[in-house]
Structure 1
């Protein structure tokens, strides 16, 4: 099994429970790792035989653009959509970090890390 990673995808979005967060927005960093069998792509050198990281980035940006109160909700939507659109992906790890969160202290970021694994049909 091989993996593809997208590191520190920078996105401005409007997630959070506070009304101010919805209006003002904040900076986010998303890290993504997907596992898949990439052996065919290694042989063919064809984009159709791998996981297109442009599509992964598009999924992250699209899901981050849809407002949620919780980072957990955004993370799960990213995982679900990757499994829906990319059948070759067997495992997804995603972390969503809010940079400079409004929590009344000097905190660089808060983040949620989530993991999903494709269920194997029985």
Structure 2
């Protein structure tokens, strides 16, 4: 299976358990992989035989501007729904990362990984 990868898409969204996270917003990072057969698009130079990744990026940017919710799990579910509406039931892998979790003394990141329709985790 071939893949289209989108990496390090930064989104500002109003998501979080704490009220100020939903009120003020914060940065998230998205990595996603869409698995599909790209051989016809490669041979024929035909975008209609592939997926236009720019529409995926725009759709996720629009979702981030609209959403207000508590959990990154719900945010990721809405992302998968949006991508499936756009591209149909293609295998999708998605990682949604909260760039600055408000946990005292914690400077790392928190992520959820989701798959739909057998989406394959990409190799590093």
Query: Fold conserved (TM > 0.5)?
Result: yes
Q: CA RMSD in A?
A: 1.5
**Partner in structure 2 of residue 49 of structure 1:** 49
Aligned to 1:85: 86
Which residue of structure 2 lines up, in the alignment, with residue 68 of structure 1?
69
Deviations 1:5-61 (A, max 9, x none): 100101111101111111221111111111011111012102222111101111221
How big is each residue's C-alpha offset from its partner over 1:78-122, in whole Å with a ceiling of 9 and x where there is no partner? 1122222213x621111111111111222221111111117xxxx
* Unmatched runs of 5 consecutive residues or more in structure 1: none
Structure 2 gap ranges (5+): 119-124
Rounded to whole Å, the distance in 2 between the matches of 1:27 and 1:80 is 21
State the partner residue of 1:39: 39
2:101 alignment partner in structure 1:
101
CA distance in 1, matches of 2:68, 2:47: 32
TM-score, scaled to structure 1: 0.87
Which sits farther off after the overlay, 9-18 or 59-68?
A: 59-68
* DSSP 3-state at the match of 1:14: strand
Aligned residues, how many?
Answer: 117
* Superposition misfits of 4+ residues, deviation over 4 angstroms: none
TM-score by length of 2: 0.86
Q: Which residue of 2 aligns with 1:111?
A: 111
Deviation, 1:62, is 2.0
**3-state DSSP of counterpart to 1:90:** coil
> What is the CA–CA distance in structure 2 between the aligned matches of 1:107 and 1:74, rounded to whole Å?
22
**Aligned pairs for 1:9-28 within 5 A:** 9-28=9-28
